[in-house]
Amino acid sequence: MYRKLLITCLAMLLMLSSCTLNKQELYNSMNKIDAHVHIRTGNPAIMEYANSQGFKLLTINTRSDSQEYIDEQKQSAISMKDLYPEDINWLATFSMEDFEDPGWAEGVVQKLQEDLDQGAMGFKIWKDIGMTFRDSLGNFVFLDDPLFEPILEFMAGSGFTLLTHIGEPKNCWLPIESMTVNGDKSYFTDHPQYHMYLHPDYPTHERLMESRDQVLARYPKLQMVGAHLGSLECRIVQKREEVGKFGNQ
């Protein structure tokens, strides 16, 4: 009862504030955070604009195929952090180069610790793990592979958050004309290498979600956030459709 009353009061306050403030005033008064950007430049113009609009940013280093590319992103992030220490933070990632070499995982842990020491506020793992990389036998490498155990143990013990982009929306496994979101149609038309409908020998959506769930079960202290609705936006659509069947919703 009290919870419903509180929600009603909050809704009324929001309505009143929207009546007393014009849209620009309301926008200016809001604290705004964009928690998913990729800054790959040393030019401060983007930060100057974000600052002028009252935004704080989280820039995310991503992709695992090139240490050189990761280092470039890291340098951009550190440069922006030096210039705007209160307005931006960044997430670190790691390279899969030479991942079958002895000591690879230990080297990754060392680099990630260096990233934390240099100001990283967490970690990012992208979809290329599970959808791109294969071992020397031709098998896809998933996040629940024992290969990643030292890395995930380090992340869990660090107390910092891991942002994951595991897999893709289920539209990825459909033909373009059957996709339910125009953005997906555009993206997978332009990036056929990630359009799983064209690659039936690649992993299924279910296997990719399973790899994530296995990691969550093994590392209960790991703080994981699923980017892009955890690639499970289909469940939200299904729930909306179920609720929408009732006339009072």
The two structure tokens encoding residue 101: 């070499």
- 74-93: b or e for each residue (b if 16 or more CB lie within 10 Å)? bebbbbbbeebeeebbbbbb
Beta strand ranges found along 46-174 (DSSP E): 55-60, 88-91, 122-125, 161-164
Residue 39 reports pLDDT greater than 90: yes
- For 31-53, the three-class secondary structure string (H helix, E strand, C coil) is CEEEEEECCCCCCCHHHHHHHHC
Q: What is the pLDDT of residues 118-160, one digit of tens each?
A: 999 999 999 999 999 999 999 999 999 999 999 999 999 999 9
Q: If you average pLDDT over every residue of the chain, what do you get?
A: 88
Residue 29 reports pLDDT greater than 60: yes
How far is the C-alpha of 156 from the C-alpha of 148, rounded, in Å? 12
In this prediction, residue 249 carries a pLDDT of 36
CA atoms within 13 A on the CB side of 16: 6
In this prediction, residue 13 carries a pLDDT of 54
pTM: 0.83
Q: What is the pLDDT of residues 189-236, one digit of tens each?
A: 999 999 999 999 999 999 999 999 999 999 999 999 999 888 887 776
**Cβ neighbours for 7, distance < 8 A, ≥ 6 positions apart:** none
Contact 41, 80 (CB under 8 A): no
In this prediction, residue 209 carries a pLDDT of 93
In this prediction, residue 247 carries a pLDDT of 38
Average pLDDT (8-31) is: 68
Confidence label for 17 from pLDDT (cuts 50, 70 and 90): low
List phi, psi (to 5°) of 165: -120, 85
- Burial of residue 129, with CB atoms counted within 10 A of its CB: 0-12 exposed, 13-18 middle, 19 or more buried: buried
